[in-house]
Amino acid sequence: MADLEEIYQHFQNKLSSLQCMLDLSAVDLPQQKIKKLAQEVLGLGRILEEFEKCVDQQKEQLKQLKELEKLFQNDLESVQHMKDNFPAHIPKRKSSVMDNKPADHQPAWAEKTKKISRNFVKEMDYITTQEYDGIPHYMKGRVSYEQLNAVVEGINTAVAAKYKILCQPLKALNNHSRKLQQRFKDQETKDTRGQFFVVEEDMHEFTQMKVDKRFQGILNMLRQCQRLREVRGGGLVRYVLM
């Protein structure tokens, strides 16, 4: 601001001097004075030309800054859109030591209950948006992406609760948990040896989910996405995690 005031004052002084010379033009001026007047006018003209160049440069810079501001605004809106529409479930892949062992060589839970760490309990991976879009419409119906993954979360909750009980020594369990542990062992078959599975009764026991026709439809969707398979026998349907 100080520089602008100095430039303004400089021009004012020059213009005042020129105005004074012009006022005296009615009388004859010496040749030297006329030459000085012409130099002053030319000097002011050059300065004005420089100012015009600076103004044009500033206009161009301002235009570029406005374009840059618009790009930043678009990026900000894109980030805000992603934040507002962030999926409730991020698909992730977990591996466990037991996943690397062939099923035929994995012992039954009844034989290895005390040696199995809770960290080895398998989880079902959440359904991705691409997988959800690939499910046939007749199978998907009105089930939303969030509702589908809510069932995945419920199954994982039931699996974690079930195998936590199986991992506990009998003396550490109360009467109800002992009965559950025995039921879990009784439901094992040669086809589920070393696998992680739940039955409908486990969903009732460990979650608040309704095991109804809609739930069965979602299980069909999970089979379509290769998240589980069914093992039937003894009047039970076992939902085995894949």
Domain-embedded: residue 196? yes
- Between vectors from CA 200 to CA 197 and to CA 201, what angle results, nearest 5°? 100
Domain-embedded: residue 16? no
**Which of 36-40, 80-84, 185-189, 229-233 is predicted with the least confidence, judged by mean pLDDT?**
36-40
Provide mean pLDDT across the span 200-223: 93
**Which of 113-117, 173-177, 201-205, 209-213 is predicted with the least confidence, judged by mean pLDDT?**
113-117
**Which of 50-54, 98-102, 152-156 is predicted with the least confidence, judged by mean pLDDT?**
98-102
Across the chain, mean pLDDT equals 80
Share of the chain above pLDDT 70, in %: 74
User: Which residues, 6 or more positions from 162, have their beta carbon under 8 angstroms from its beta carbon?
Assistant: 180, 184, 198, 202, 206
Domain-embedded: residue 118? no
Domain-embedded: residue 183? yes
pLDDT above 50 for 33: yes
Structural domain of residue 166, as residue ranges? 129-241
Q: What is the pLDDT of residues 93-143, one digit of tens each?
A: 544 434 444 444 444 544 444 444 445 788 999 999 999 999 999 998 899
Domain-embedded: residue 172? yes
pLDDT above 60 for 203: yes
pLDDT confidence band for 197 (50 / 70 / 90): very high
pLDDT recorded at residue 88 = 60
pLDDT above 50 for 50: yes
Domain-embedded: residue 216? yes
Please tell me the distance from the alpha carbon of residue 36 to that of residue 198, in angstroms, as a whole number. 103
Structural domains counted in the chain = 1
- Put the strands of the sheet holding 228-233 in their side by side order: 197-198, 236-241, 228-233
Domain-embedded: residue 231? yes
Share of the chain above pLDDT 90, in %: 43
Q: What is the pLDDT of residues 57-87, one digit of tens each?
A: 888 888 899 888 988 888 888 888 777 776 6
pLDDT recorded at residue 121 = 83
Domain containing residue 168: CATH number = 1.10.10.1890
Count of residues in the chain: 242
pLDDT recorded at residue 80 = 83
Domain-embedded: residue 205? yes
